[in-house]
Amino acid sequence: MIDNGFPLTTEPNILRQMIASPNIVSKMLSVATGNSSNVSNTLPDATASCVPWRITDLKHTNNEVYVDLVEEMDAIINSDGALVKCEINGEVQVNSHLSGLPDLTLSFANPSILNDVRFHPCVRFRPWESHQILSFVPPDGQFKLMSYRSNVIHLQGQKVEEYSDICKATANLRFWDMPYQCFADLTSNHGAVNILANKTCSWSIGRIPKDKAPSMSGTLALETDLERLNVFPTFQVGFRIMGVALSALQIDKLDLRNLPNRPYKGFRALTQAGEFEVRS
Amino acid sequence: MGLERHCWVQTESPLKYEKKCCPLSPDFGGDFIRPLLNSSSPFIRFTSSKPISSLFTGDRFLSASIEYNDGSSSSISPLSFSFAFSTLRSSVESNDGIWNSRSDPDFDNSHPKPNSTRKGEVSDLKMQLRQLAGSRAPGTDDSKRELFKKVISYMTIGIDVSSVFSEMVMCSATSDIVLKKMCYLYVGNHAKYNPDLALLTINFLQKDCKDEDPMIRGLALRSLCSLRVANLVEYLVGPLGLGLKDGNSYVRTVATVGVLKLYHISSATCVDADFPTMLKHLMLSDPDTQVVANCLSALQEIWSLEASKSEEASREKEALLSKPVVYYFLNRIKEFSEWAQCLVLELVAKYVPSDSNEIFDVMNLLEDRLQHANGAVVLATIKLFLQLTLSMTDVHQQVYERIKAPLLTLVSSGSPEQSYAVLSHLHLLVTRAPMLFSSDYKHFYCQYNEPFYVKKLKLEMLTALASESNTYEIVTELCEYAANVDIPIARESIRAVGKIALQQYDVNAIVDRLLQFLEMEKDYVTAETLVLVKDLLRKYPQWSHDCIAVVGNISSKNVQEPKAKAALIWMLGEYAQDMQDAPYVLESLIDNWEDEYSAEVRLHLLTAVMKCFLRRPPETQKALGDALAAGIADFHQDVHDRALFYYRLLQYNVSVAERVVNPPKQAVSVFADPQNSEIKDRIFDEFNSLSVVYQKPSYMFTDKEHRGPFVFSEELGNLSIGVESASNVVSTQMLEANDNDLLLSTSEKEESRGASSNGSAYNAPSTDGSSNQLLATHSPQPSMAIDDLLGLGLPVAPNPAPSPPPLKLNARAVLDPSTFQQKWRQLPISVSQEYSMNPQGVAALTTPQSLLQHMQGNYIQCIASGGQAPNFKFFFFAQKAEESSTFLVECVINSASCMAQLKIKADDQSTSQAFAALFQSALSTFGMT
């Protein structure tokens, strides 16, 4: 929110308090009162509080906090199947609905694999520096606690099949920058192949079967005077693995203090393909 | 509590949890991820467990919403939902009108065109406003709101609504904050053009400044300061003073910026009212960080503008950079917002710590800023770290190591635009210290999806950091791009391979790769490669056999691009004896002379056929004749001239022609770098600004009036030399130096441009000479022209100016290296000249130390020196005897050519000439004793 050219706040939670997101209640109110402004008339208390990211005096009937590890894997695999570049960008996302002014401590089992980390302003720096512990007073609702980068790949050397039943994949191939004439006949032994109008071939593999390796084959018609294909298309692969963080980052424990009653705690992990490409 | 590596581990209330984490829809993943990525938390409730209908009352609505929700319940997003809802609402409205359709009248017929028919409506508005002005009936505020809204919407689309000014002011007597806000907006917009009417608003604004609601006080004060009417400033002072002392931080925040606005309207009023002092007090004591940050930015602006006017202000400006103030900010930095943090970091970057302990203290304090989520803060911190450690080489290196990770993270997170900006900064660092990054090359591999500008920058970086350890991997990767479907990137990557080959000593493998490119048989690949092979041969003639064998196989018909064609022709001429059919290829090319549209190619063709003729006369004679005939008939002046020149040369003497056209060549050792190091340093000084993204120092892309005082004074300094020099001698000298520079750069350009220079640059000392003469004859004139340009009306033969008082230097000048560095960075060059040393001096200059002692005898101290014969570089400094004015000198001596290049910077520009003379005389006596 910019106040007279000067930024007032960037904290999403506070912004949400200042500007009501278009929801049913506000729509009904605006219809009823004729007031179409979403901006609230009062400044949120938190802008003046010592913990500017947190609304003061929060009360939730259900106290719950969820911690998600979301990782994106950027990788390039060359035509020989060798890994050219691989990197994992991850985020720790927290969704907290906690009353009062809770103090949370999150620790990892193996913080050493993190190459570089960036924190939400709520994270205290000293405990991280000395013990690699995240100590913070969380904002309310969903927020990104920390983002990290890691080069360690848990997957390397292990069997990919291990994940096959929880992994879903798609592969995309763009034809339109190749000297190809609108004729392609592609089939696969698993999943569905679609050739879209923009000359993109999309192959949704879905869950990878255990008994066979999915493959796609077919013919492409090239321009008439070309003897061979001298550009090499790149496949973009998308996948999603539930319950696994490929960097093998593990949350050790989450301690909550300063809370009236015991909250629910939940953790989960997810890995998706970021810029994952396979060269041919 | 131990954790398992499951999707979720729940501790309590498993039932509710079950619902959330195991949706039964087929799109398992989609449903699962959605709440995770969704930014709007209240919404998660609809998508996962609770039915959307539970939020509504009323049966009709319930059924409708469920129907709507059915198909897309898993993928619905807040935005699409609100859209869905609005369509829903409208359909309900149209069906039975349950919902009272009270839509806003002004938005339904919105965006009227600014034309004359609106005039009537404006006067209509005026009438209505006037009726409402005095009314106190209930509901007046609502109708006023509608009218105000209309006025504002007319204003924003450019209709002249200034005629309702007085009515607006009359209507503003209300307690409704929305009305007030709209009224302030209107007044702020129109006051500037109606200064007389603006007076009307002062009264109610002043009254509002004393309102009990801090929001209204703040708003009123802000509007009062935004009137920008010079003769109303007297009314501003009182409210501003009160605002600065207000109990509410919002009002103080507004008031601090208000002071700055007041300063811009009338600086005298602002200073007389002693506001800067109040701001300073506020800055050092206010509990609210936003107030403190605003004070800082206001004070910085005021005092840097004031500094030129008064001594006191410049002292205050310095005081902002004093140790207590800087430490005060550093200790509070964590409380500030991101922008304010950037402001503070910028301030600290200007601060010069007294010793290295202090530097380490500052860096330790700010270490955690590198892990801030905001990229701007990270970059500002990096800039600070780099600048602080400039004088400490080893720590500087450690800083590089430390900042690498945050920068790389910034690159990989965020939009391509952001990663481009960060990559530009990385690029700068990579070019400064390629060794430190040589193990991180994989981060700069291009991804298929990245936009072109990011890829291009990454290619440049890969080129820059190629070293012996990683060349193989980098070149392999670049070769992948050469086969890429993206043609511009393929070209760029081939060029990058070539550049790496020119940097490296071990080019074996790279040459093979380049030659493989030629076999790919794609015309753009072939074209780029030919240009590169040509450059390679110029640097490594020993590779000619391998290259020529492959190049010989290329049919000239497949090469169409002028640059590539020129390169091929150059090789044909240069290696005519190694290529069997060179004369015949040239001959066929000459047959198509008419179709050759590029003059560059025709020029090369002439030279190549000459070279070929000189080596293999019988086979080439016919081709040469055709070429010369065609060339002389050519309409292009250069081609015509060159053909005629060759013709006459051959007529005169063939052996002379041989010496001119085909002399023995030296391999080119280093190709010219288009950017000189001074510019690069300047860009580095402007780290964390657009200069880095543009790869240009700021003075190259900013208008004069927006440049900082620093660059401006440099120009002044240069001008003052021209004016003050007693006899124009110095300015002439400088001009000559400049001209020499120009000459140098053009010949360098030619060198790098391609093969033509290989022909001409080697065999054309005569042209150089002639142009020198040309310049020599012209040189006195430009200096006068410059005098005239200055518009100072100086007589053509200026009177001998009064000679400046003799300059005395302090015998015991003291300056520590970091201060020197700081000054060197800040001060403009006041004198830059070349000076030829006497041979005795050069003879005595076997080690740098000998000169140091000599200069010390003349009260000129050395702070750093280095180099080996024939190139020495010294940094000297000296101080004036009476006052603490310092002179800084960079002196580069080439003992082979007996030339010394001087760059002098001085605290006091006016005495720099005198000091230059002193320095030269000191230098001239070196080696005499």
B339 CA: distance to closest CA in chain A (Å): 7
In this predicted structure, what is the pLDDT of residue B382? 92
In this predicted structure, what is the pLDDT of residue B370? 85
Tokens standing for residue B751: 């060198």
Q: Are A232 and B10 an interchain contact pair (Cβ–Cβ within 8 Å)?
A: no
pLDDT at B844 over 80: no
Q: How far apart are CA B209 and CA B217, in angstroms?
A: 4
Instruction: Categorise residue B10: left if φ over 0, alpha if ψ from -120 to 50, beta otherwise.
Output: beta
Residue carrying structure tokens 């509710």:
B16
Dihedral of CA B105/B106/B108/B112: which sign?
Answer: positive
Chain B residue with minimum CA distance to A252: B3
From edge to edge, which strands make up the β-sheet containing A116-119?
A116-119, A141-150, A83-97, A64-77, A264-279, A234-242, A167-174, A200-207, A192-195
* Of the candidate ranges A114-128, A147-161, B219-233, B850-864, the one whose mean pLDDT is the lowest: A147-161
In this predicted structure, what is the pLDDT of residue A226? 58
Q: How far apart are CA B538 and CA B849, in angstroms?
A: 39
Tokens standing for residue B61: 């609505």
Helix (H) or strand (E) holding A182: strand A180-188
Q: Which residues of chain A does B33 touch, with a Cβ-Cβ cutoff of 8 Å? A: 240, 270, 272
The set of residues, in sequence order, having a beta carbon less than 8 Å from that of A68 and lying 6+ positions away, is A92, A93, A94, A95, A267, A268, A269, A270, B36
pLDDT at B720 over 50: no
Domain boundaries, chain B: 9-112, 227-320, 325-405, 414-526, 555-670, 672-751+801-929
Q: How far apart are CA B403 and CA B436, in angstroms?
A: 11
A221 CA: distance to closest CA in chain B (Å): 17
DSSP codes, B512-576? HHHHHHHTT--HHHHHHHHHHHHHHHHH-GGGHHHHHHHHTTS-GGG--SHHHHHHHHHHHHHTT
Q: Which residues of chain A does B294 touch, with a Cβ-Cβ cutoff of 8 Å? A: 6
pLDDT bucket at B748, cuts 50 / 70 / 90: very low
Domains A64-155+244-279 and A169-242 share a fold: yes
CATH number, domain A64-155+244-279: 2.60.40.1170
Q: Which residues of chain A does B408 touch, with a Cβ-Cβ cutoff of 8 Å? A: 116, 149
pLDDT at B644 over 50: yes
What SS3 class is residue B746? helix
Q: Are B480 and A78 an interchain contact pair (Cβ–Cβ within 8 Å)?
A: yes
Tokens standing for residue B450: 């990245």
Give the strand pairing for A83-97 and A141-150: antiparallel
Percentage of the residues of chain B whose pLDDT score is greater than 70? 74
Q: Are A243 and B449 an interchain contact pair (Cβ–Cβ within 8 Å)?
A: no
More confident residue, B782 or B61: B782
In 3D, which of B671, B349, B378, B326 has the Cα closest to residue B531? B671
In this predicted structure, what is the pLDDT of residue B897? 74
Q: Are B339 and A253 an interchain contact pair (Cβ–Cβ within 8 Å)?
A: no
Asked if B604 and B755 touch (Cβ cutoff 8 Å), the reply is yes
* Of the candidate ranges A177-186, B611-620, B747-756, the one whose mean pLDDT is the lowest: B747-756
pLDDT bucket at B645, cuts 50 / 70 / 90: very high
Alpha helix segments (H runs only) across B114-174? 118-133, 140-156, 165-171
pLDDT at B252 over 50: yes
Helices and strands (DSSP H and E) totals, chain A:
3, 16
B62 CA: distance to closest CA in chain A (Å): 13
Measure CB to CB from residue B82 to each of A22, A41, A254 and give the nearest one. A22
Measure CB to CB from residue B7 to each of A6, A74, A268 and give the nearest one. A268
> A–B: how many Cβ contacts below 8 A?
187
pLDDT bucket at B780, cuts 50 / 70 / 90: very low
CA distances from B154 to B117, B200, B585, B666, B769 (A): 13, 22, 74, 74, 70
Helices and strands (DSSP H and E) totals, chain B:
48, 5
Asked if A171 and A236 touch (Cβ cutoff 8 Å), the reply is yes
In 3D, which of B882, B929, B889 has the Cα closest to residue B905? B889
A237 CA: distance to closest CA in chain B (Å): 12
* Of the candidate ranges B29-33, B141-145, B602-606, the one whose mean pLDDT is the lowest: B29-33
Average pLDDT over residues B894-907: 79
Average pLDDT over residues B861-872: 74
When the pLDDT of each residue in chain B is averaged and rounded to a whole number, the result is 72
* Of the candidate ranges B45-49, B552-556, B746-750, B859-863, the one whose mean pLDDT is the lowest: B45-49
In 3D, which of A276, A271, A235 has the Cα closest to residue A154? A271
pLDDT at B110 over 60: no
pLDDT tens-digit series, residues B314-341 = 888 888 888 888 888 888 888 888 888 8
Average pLDDT over residues B96-104: 35
Measure CB to CB from residue B445 to each of A41, A85, A117 and give the nearest one. A85
A125 CA: distance to closest CA in chain B (Å): 7
pLDDT < 50 positions in chain A: 46, 48, 156-162, 176
- Name the CATH superfamily, with its identifier, for domain A169-242: Mu homology domain, subdomain B (2.60.40.1170)
Q: How far apart are CA A234 and CA A177, in angstroms?
A: 11
Q: Does A22 touch chain B (CB under 8 A)?
A: yes
Q: How far apart are CA B811 and CA B926, in angstroms?
A: 18
Q: How far apart are CA B778 and CA A184, in angstroms?
A: 71
pLDDT at B785 over 50: no
pLDDT tens-digit series, residues B694-719 = 888 888 888 766 655 444 334 433 43
In this predicted structure, what is the pLDDT of residue A184? 63
pLDDT tens-digit series, residues B117-128 = 556 778 888 888
pLDDT at B391 over 50: yes
Q: Are A253 and B55 an interchain contact pair (Cβ–Cβ within 8 Å)?
A: no
At residue A43, φ and ψ (nearest 5 deg) are -75, 140
In this predicted structure, what is the pLDDT of residue B315? 83
What's the start-to-end Cα distance of chain B, in Å?
85
Give the strand pairing for A141-150 and A116-119: antiparallel
Tokens standing for residue B913: 């000439």
pLDDT at B55 over 50: no
The set of residues, in sequence order, having a beta carbon less than 8 Å from that of A44 and lying 6+ positions away, is A14, A17, A18, A55
List the single best residue of B1, B4, B5 to mutate versus A (max A Cβ within 10 A).
B5
* Of the candidate ranges B353-357, B667-671, B854-858, the one whose mean pLDDT is the lowest: B667-671
What's the start-to-end Cα distance of chain A, in Å?
47
Choose from B196-210, B455-469, B543-557, B806-820 the range with maximum mean pLDDT: B455-469
Domain boundaries, chain A: 2-48, 64-155+244-279, 169-242
B371 CA: distance to closest CA in chain A (Å): 5
Q: How far apart are CA A53 and CA A145, in angstroms?
A: 12
In 3D, which of B586, B587, B575 has the Cα closest to residue B550? B575
Report the 10 Å Cβ neighbour count for B685: 17
Q: Are B371 and A12 an interchain contact pair (Cβ–Cβ within 8 Å)?
A: no
CA-atom Rg of chain B in angstroms: 37
pLDDT at B22 over 60: no
Residue carrying structure tokens 């040309």:
B774
In this predicted structure, what is the pLDDT of residue A224? 58
More confident residue, B24 or B195: B195
Q: How far apart are CA B495 and CA B911, in angstroms?
A: 50
Average pLDDT over residues B553-573: 84
At residue B774, φ and ψ (nearest 5 deg) are -55, -45
Residues composing chain B: 929
* Of the candidate ranges A222-226, B161-165, B421-425, B563-567, the one whose mean pLDDT is the lowest: A222-226
* Fold of the CATH domain B672-751+801-929: TATA-Binding Protein (3.30.310)
List the single best residue of A72, A129, A227, A265 to mutate versus B (max B Cβ within 10 A).
A265
